[in-house]
Amino acid sequence: MRIRNPQSEIRNRLGYKMSQGILLFIEQRDGVLNRTSLEALVAAQGIASQTGEKVAAVVLGKSVSSVAAEIAAKKLEAVYTIEDDKLAEYTPDGYVSASKQAIEQLAPRLVIFSHTYQVRDFAPRLAAQLGKTFVTDCVGFRVDGGDVIFTRQVFQGKLNTDVRVISAPPALASFQAGSYRADKAEAGDSPCPINALSVNLSDTQIRTQPEAKFQEAKQAVDLTQAPLIVAVGRGIKSQENIELVQKLADALGAEIAASRPICDNEWLPMDRQIGSSGQTVAPKLYLAVGISGAIQHVVGMKNSQTIVAINKDPEAPIFDIADYGIVGDLFEIVPALTAEVLKVKSES
């Protein structure tokens, strides 16, 4: 995306020169920093180092001093805090109103988020209220003569696009979890200043009432402890065929797991789902059968020691993270593999 160079040196209300700057949105819940904010920080610092800009961060909530102090240790120009009773619980209305006022006061040219469920829930509204464009779910960036070009996946990761902003700043952009490593966030030489921003939420109507967060009934299987996992995806086509994969899992002595559509269809129970809305696993072997490798699945298994993919599509994104792959029809390969495993096991 190309962010046009702003007409230099517009000073905002606070007198900070943020017209060239990057504002990073920090997500916290109950005073605990969301780690993906640090990943987004790496992206922000990377852009800033190439454009010669500064990065400031903003944290919203009711009492955010410890999160602010934690983030102030990073290489940042400043951390801004917004504390208000109306922000005690996350609501889209409260967050849109507070962050809109922050953006108006600080006048950055780029606002960066991590593409979390919370950001999905309010940032598009924020962009619409500001009348600004929002480049969502980016996996990379490149700076081209002062312009930032964002990389975003389309068609569930099957294609990449280079996206350029052609509207007036500020622009908003969010980065996909896992695109950058949180431990690469640069620390500052000394803690940066923490400033309270005052925003007025008295007129802000909070139209949604959130209840307490909860987890569904306890998981019957704990896949995180399984050393070997065979996971099945939509390529299996019907519930009857699951047995084919179950047999392979049994032969290996592995647990069976699944991508989301399999659990959505109730072909396997929810507690076998791997991914951002399921379990996160890192077994010795993760064998993915008929799974395309969408990011929401991959985040739940990419740290597995050895990944094997069986898929008929040589371009399937799963092959990008697999150590071994077989391109072909799972209905031929899986039975052959089961037979081979049984053979080898009976011999040894």
Partner 1 sequence: MNIVVCLKQVPKKDSILRIGGDQKWIDYRDISYEMSEADAYALEEALRQKEKHGGEVIVISLGPERVRQSIKEALAKGADRAIHLQDPLFDSATDADGIARAIAAALKDEKYDLIFTGLQSDDYGFAQVGLIIAERLGLPSATIVMEVQPEDAAVRVKRELESGWFQWVKMSMPALLTIQSGINQLRYATLKGIMAAKKKEIREVKAADLGLTAEDLKPGQVVDRAYLPEKTKRTEIIEGKPSEAAAKLVEKLRFEARVF
74, 86, 247, 297: which one binds ligand FAD (CB under 6 A): 297
Q: Which is nearer to partner 1, 120 or 181 (CB)?
A: 120
45, 116, 151, 276: which one binds ligand FAD (CB under 6 A): 276
Rg of the chain in Å (alpha carbons): 23
Give the count of residues interacting with ligand FAD (CB under 6 A). 28
Dihedrals phi, psi of 69, to nearest 5 degrees: -65, -40
The minimum distance between CB 133 and partner 1, in angstroms, equals: 3
55, 68, 111, 165: which one binds partner 1 (CB under 8 A): 165
Q: 89: burial class by Cβ within 10 Å (0-12, 13-18, 19+)?
A: middle
Q: Which residue, 277, 307, 275, is CA-closest to 294? A: 275
Give the count of residues interacting with partner 1 (CB under 8 A). 93
Q: Which is nearer to partner 1, 65 or 241 (CB)?
A: 241
User: What is the distance between the alpha carbons of residues 162 and 160, in angstroms, rounded to a whole number?
Assistant: 7
Q: What is the helix (H) or strand (E) element at residue 110, kind and residue range?
A: strand 110-114
Q: C-alpha angle with apex 176: 172 to 181, nearest 5 degrees?
A: 115
Confirm or reject binding of residue 156 to partner 1 (CB under 8 A).
Answer: yes
Confirm or reject binding of residue 118 to ligand FAD (CB under 6 A).
Answer: no
Residues 297-316 that bind partner 1 (CB under 8 A): 305-306, 308-309, 313-315
97, 259, 304, 338: which one binds ligand FAD (CB under 6 A): 259
Confirm or reject binding of residue 347 to partner 1 (CB under 8 A).
Answer: no
297 touches, from ligand FAD, partner 1, none (C-beta below 5 to 8 Å by class): ligand FAD
The minimum distance between CB 339 and partner 1, in angstroms, equals: 7
Confirm or reject binding of residue 309 to ligand FAD (CB under 6 A).
Answer: no
Could you tell me the sign of the dihedral formed by the alpha carbons of 125, 59, 10, 21, in that order?
negative
Q: Which residue, 242, 225, 231, 224, is CA-closest to 307? A: 231
**337 by DSSP, 3-state: which?**
helix
Q: How many residues does the chain have?
A: 348
Contact between 290 and 235 (Cβ < 8 Å): yes
Q: Which is nearer to ligand FAD, 252 or 316 (CB)?
A: 316
193 touches, from partner 1, ligand FAD, none (C-beta below 5 to 8 Å by class): none
Dihedrals phi, psi of 180, to nearest 5 degrees: -135, 155
The minimum distance between CB 293 and ligand FAD, in angstroms, equals: 7
62 touches, from ligand FAD, partner 1, none (C-beta below 5 to 8 Å by class): none
